[in-house]
Chains A and B, each alone.
Chain A
């Protein structure tokens, strides 16, 4: 029973990671920018939610906070990231890293260094008990929302016209521009959508990890790993990468509890050694 709940935990964790990593992966693919502000946007989502949910209720806050976060994503793209398009990826990485450092300190300045606890909503609290097996409803709720987010992204990129342009932009952005699509707008939309998704994931994670200023860093590196493992620009690959990271963390606590932090990194090292573009990666993206 322990194994089962660990596996389930790993899957839920993996789904949340995947939901965050998708935005990161799309921005990287379409804009060629390693967006290190993704983690802090995730944190912003959690903090906006924490500031609102007691006064306006759980669900309204869950809708409003991603909208605010999408606004932040819009501003970041307009003010910072658009300056580094077409330049060395290092510039993008450092500029967004600088922004993330500054914002983390701003959050610590305004809200203090302490962690804030958020209770799961009343409709998803309590425990699911089937015989010996006990599991919290809230984690199942998270899994449901994360699956909806991943499915939504999949439909958006695979089945819609917008998605076709996004995918084309990943392979050859100049050609997409030459065909008459506004490349800057496309990149902006992807950034806004990715930020909103990261914010929503931050809200979902808030009751499990508690809201604190460092929570963004804790999710940034796993998204990084997932993108490298799964392959850039592939949604199934990202899902596989996310599940691998989630499961390796969760099951790793059984085997080597002390070094559980580095298991996903080693796993990534092995995968990238044999599949240099990741498990499902395609050629010619950001190479």
Chain B
């Protein structure tokens, strides 16, 4: 029991189990659902960024593709009474496109990797925006319905919230197990010293390809569930600024130093965004400046500050892998901790 109580996932579990019953928060069930989906999304993204050091700007595209995959397959192929099949399609499409992109750019690093993922996002956005016979173009797709599954009425936002909650828990446990497994350790080796890992005989390209595929499958799932939440799919969420949001939320929480950083980051990020946009029309001004201030003052993010303080260290800069110029980043890096 003591071990369970020390597990942060247990506390997240408790808070989100009770969330819809909290006074005054009960009306924000859809916000809570969105938060849970963002948790899945950013945790999966952090497999790339935090574990492997891959600055992917393509995850917004996988999220959007998952969303479209669920919507299109629901409306055209599976008929009106399917619930799980569109989600499975979303996972498959996410994994498929992730594998395609990952295979093409598996040997790239740093700037080139980031740039090529941005370009991929733009291509996907361009196609979905223009191909209105399939994607609905600017108007998007709507009319996706949540149907009853096993006697549970998914149309009720609370039921759907708990469905997302269970899926989130499963995903979080899966991703954590993956991150702590042999595979996850190898990914850290790739991140911390690329060249040494290669000399030790790791095929770094294959590891990157594998992690990219897995991560984009989770992103696709989150997108598909988001499509079910809003009951529509729009090209807006494919814009590459969405990918920027994910990176921002992950870094804000300190995803590079802690497994739970993305969750903390998502909470802050989403709440901040919702509050600001409700208060002021020109909220993007503050939002953009927040990017600048947080990244220049706290490059390790919130969890980084907490971890460093608890270890009695000063905040370290440059927790992301430094470009391997003279045989890899020599600087010691804070390990992934819980």
Contact = CB atoms under 8 A, between A and B. Distances in A.
A binds B: yes
A224 B285 contact: no
Contacts of A185: none
B116 A272 contact: yes
Contacts of A28: 111
Contact of A89 (B111, B251, B282, B283): B111
A94 B288 contact: no
A78 B151 CA distance: 62
B35 interface: no
A105 B282 CA distance: 6
Interface residues of B, number: 44
A84, A94, A225 pick with most chain B CB within 10 angstroms:
A94
A287 B119 CA distance: 19
B265 to A, nearest CB: 13
B68 to A, nearest CB: 16
A102 B295 contact: no
B320 interface: yes
A98 B123 contact: no
Interface in A162-215: none
Contact of A102 (B109, B251, B284): B284
Contacts, number: 134
Nearest to A262: B126
B291 A97 contact: yes
A286 B291 contact: no
Contacts of A269: 104, 119, 123
Contact of B127 (A87, A108, A259, A286): A259
B292 A80 contact: yes
Interface string A70-103: 0000000000100110111111011101111111
A240 interface: no
Contacts of A158: none
Contacts of B248: 94, 98
Nearest to B251: A94
A87 B318 contact: yes
A97 B244 contact: yes
A235 interface: no
Interface of B: 55, 104, 107-112, 114-116, 118-119, 122-123, 126-127, 129-130, 241, 244, 247-248, 251, 282-292, 295-296, 299, 317-318, 320-323
14 contacts: A84-B295, A86-B318, A89-B110, A91-B299, A91-B320, A98-B291, A102-B287, A108-B282, A109-B285, A221-B122, A224-B118, A258-B130, A276-B112, A286-B111
